[in-house]
């Protein structure tokens, strides 16, 4: 198969779930092209090793970066229009149609994102990795810029944060024009169906991890008595890290021999530094910054408890079952997370860890104290977590399933709601 992946920026270190699907398709012998519709990311100082291993940049087509400054955006846009007009004159004029494309034409997003497609493209499968990009997939196919079966994935911000701004009818055309949908958890599938998505055209397909890269280890109380706790994630509101910092300050009053490692970076770093200083826990709480996957594994290997305290952002943004949580569970760490988005589909409360209400500092502190005081529970929780991840989120199984979905669509079949992973030898005749 010839497959096009639509992404916003590529490569992005915080989106390994997209990378895993791209690499999975390549490993299964398919021709893959990546379209980075907003140009390259601003920060390319750290890149996932798979990008180089599979020479993914050579497979990537970049739309021109759209300047933030409105005047420069229009001047650059005019230059792009004039220099590319000969490729597809009729379509170039339609890209500026503010009646049809409204704000996406006024902001020139339609023009900038369409540049790589002015010389028409044809694929078997066009997979839009967020449904906000799926809207452009629909438009580009209607304009004749790209041909192929169109799949759109709901991943989180596109079905939560995006809706308050644009309204609940924003996806009506997407629902009617897209061939098939994926959602990375039941929570977001149900939201999509409530908005008007045909329930027969959407399938839950989780974000997988390579379990072989996250070695399981039984966790026991450390000989030095220092319990090491970790969180991995962007330093943004949705990740809820400030509530763990506050909970750590409470727990440290009775359990001073703890260490909290925060792996990640983001716009809230300064706020967290101030909070850590105010709470006088700088000797306990460490902001470690961005780390490569190998470095993260090394840190988690020394830890005993993992916390993923996701919250619903002020803008409505919500999480699916986050990959960092799956990775920690695969390594045998008991976890504390929140009753949020799709996370309860991953963590079974009291079995593989604990779930607490969002933003509840006292509840986090209570469960953390319990785990510190009951290390005998760590081993059983860790085993349950590993089993859950292997069962539902193994990357190899999920990539097999994704290819099966592609192939059924090409055979003019709708993938079955309870689609089972089948051997790749059973592809085109199913």
Q: Is the pLDDT of residue 277 over 60?
A: yes
Q: What is the mean pLDDT of residues 79-86?
A: 96
Q: Is the pLDDT of residue 24 over 90?
A: yes
| Backbone φ and ψ of 86, nearest 5° | -65, -25
- pLDDT for the residue numbered 417: 56
Q: What is the mean pLDDT of residues 101-119?
A: 95
pLDDT category of residue 143 using cuts at 50, 70 and 90:
very high
Give the global pTM: 0.88
For the record, the structure tokens of 381 come out as 């929780």
Tens of pLDDT along 381-417? 999 999 999 999 999 999 999 999 999 999 877 676 5
- pLDDT for the residue numbered 428: 35
For the record, the structure tokens of 376 come out as 């005998």
pLDDT category of residue 45 using cuts at 50, 70 and 90:
confident
- pLDDT for the residue numbered 309: 96
Q: Is the pLDDT of residue 14 over 90?
A: no
- pLDDT for the residue numbered 421: 41
Select from 329, 1, 311 the least CA-distant residue to 148.
Answer: 1
- pLDDT for the residue numbered 16: 84
Dist. CA 259–CA 222, nearest whole Å: 12
Give the right CATH number for 211-391 from 3.10.400.10, 3.40.190.10, 3.40.50.920, 3.40.50.2000. Answer: 3.40.50.2000
Q: Is the pLDDT of residue 167 over 80?
A: no
Q: Is the pLDDT of residue 294 over 50?
A: yes
Residue % of the chain over a pLDDT of 90 = 84
Strand order across the 285-289 sheet:
285-289, 258-263, 227-232, 305-308, 335-338, 353-356
Q: Does domain 2-208+395-426 match CATH 3.40.50.2000?
A: yes
pLDDT category of residue 157 using cuts at 50, 70 and 90:
confident
Dist. CA 209–CA 391, nearest whole Å: 11
Q: Is the pLDDT of residue 99 over 50?
A: yes
Q: What is the mean pLDDT of residues 332-345?
A: 96
Q: Is the pLDDT of residue 324 over 60?
A: yes
- pLDDT for the residue numbered 423: 37
Q: Is the pLDDT of residue 321 over 50?
A: yes
Are both 2-208+395-426 and 211-391 of the same fold?
yes
- pLDDT for the residue numbered 13: 76
Least confident of 63-77, 156-170, 193-207, 245-259: 156-170
Report the mean per-residue pLDDT for the chain: 92
Residue % of the chain over a pLDDT of 70 = 96
Q: Is the pLDDT of residue 221 over 60?
A: yes
SS3 of the chain: the string is CEEEEEECCCCCCCCHHHHHHHHHHHHCCCEEEEEECCCCCCCCCCCCHHHHHCCHHHHEEECCCCCCCHHHHHHHHHHHHHHHHHHCHHHHHHCCCHHHHHHHHHCCHHHHHHHHHCCCEEEEEEEECCHHHHHHHHHHHHCCCEEEEEEEEECCHHHCCHHHHHCCCCCHHHHHHCCEEEECCHHHHHHHHHHCCCHHHEEECCCCECHHHCCCCCCCCCCCCCEEEEEECCCCHHHCHHHHHHHHHHHCCCCCCEEEEEEECCCCHHHHHHHHHHCCCCCCEEEEECCCHHHHHHHHHCCCEEEECCCCCCCCCCCCCCHHHHHHHHCCCCEEEECCCCHHHCCCECCCEEEECCCCHHHHHHHHHHHHHCHHHHHHHHHHHHHHHHHHCEHHHHHHHHHHHHHHHHCCCCCCCCCCCCCHHHCCCC
- pLDDT for the residue numbered 416: 64
Boundaries of every domain in the chain: 2-208+395-426, 211-391
- pLDDT for the residue numbered 419: 53
């Amino acid at each position: 198969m010839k497959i096009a992946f639509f992404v916003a920026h590529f490569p992005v270190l915080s989106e390994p779930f997209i990378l895993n699907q791209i690499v999975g398709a390549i490993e299964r012998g398919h021709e893959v092209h990546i379209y980075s519709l907003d140009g390259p990311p601003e920060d390319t100082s750290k890149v996932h090793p798979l990008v180089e291993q599979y020479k993914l940049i050579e497979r990537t087509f970049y739309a021109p970066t759209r300047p933030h400054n409105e005047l420069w955006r229009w001047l650059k846009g005019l230059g792009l229009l004039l220099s590319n007009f000969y490729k597809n004159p009729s379509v170039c004029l339609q890209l500026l149609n503010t009646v049809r494309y409204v704000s996406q034409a006024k902001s020139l997003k339609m023009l900038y994102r369409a540049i790589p497609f002015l010389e028409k493209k044809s694929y078997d499968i066009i997979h839009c990795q967020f449904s906000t990009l799926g809207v452009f997939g629909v438009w580009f196919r209607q304009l004749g810029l790209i041909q192929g079966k169109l799949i759109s994935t709901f991943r989180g911000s596109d079905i939560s944060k995006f809706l308050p701004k644009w309204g609940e009818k924003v996806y009506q055309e997407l629902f009617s024009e897209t061939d098939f949908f994926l959602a990375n958890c039941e929570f977001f599938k149900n939201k999509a169906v409530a908005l008007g998505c045909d329930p027969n055209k959407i399938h839950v397909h989780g974000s997988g991890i390579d379990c072989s890269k996250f070695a399981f280890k039984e966790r026991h109380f450390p000989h030095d008595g220092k319990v090491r706790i970790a969180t991995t994630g962007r330093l943004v509101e949705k990740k809820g890290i400030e509530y763990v910092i506050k909970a750590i300050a409470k727990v440290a009053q009775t359990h001073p021999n703890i260490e909290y490692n925060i792996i990640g970076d983001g716009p809230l770093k300064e706020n967290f530094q101030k909070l850590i200083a105010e709470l006088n826990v700088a000797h306990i709480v460490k902001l470690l910054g961005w780390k490569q996957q190998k470095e993260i594994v090394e840190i988690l290997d020394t830890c005993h408890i993992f916390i993923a305290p996701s919250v619903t952002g002020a803008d409505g943004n919500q999480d699916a079952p986050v990959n960092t949580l799956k990775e920690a569970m695969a390594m045998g760490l008991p976890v504390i997370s929140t009753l949020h988005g799709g996370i309860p589909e991953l963590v079974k409360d009291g079995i593989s860890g604990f779930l607490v209400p969002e933003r509840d500092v006292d509840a986090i502190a209570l469960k953390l104290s319990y785990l510190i005081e009951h290390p005998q529970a760590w081993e059983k929780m860790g085993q349950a977590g590993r089993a859950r991840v292997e069962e539902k989120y193994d990357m190899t199984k999920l990539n097999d399933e994704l290819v099966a979905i592609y192939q059924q669509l090409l055979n003019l079949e709708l993938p079955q709601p309870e689609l089972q992973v089948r051997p790749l030898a059973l592809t085109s005749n199913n």
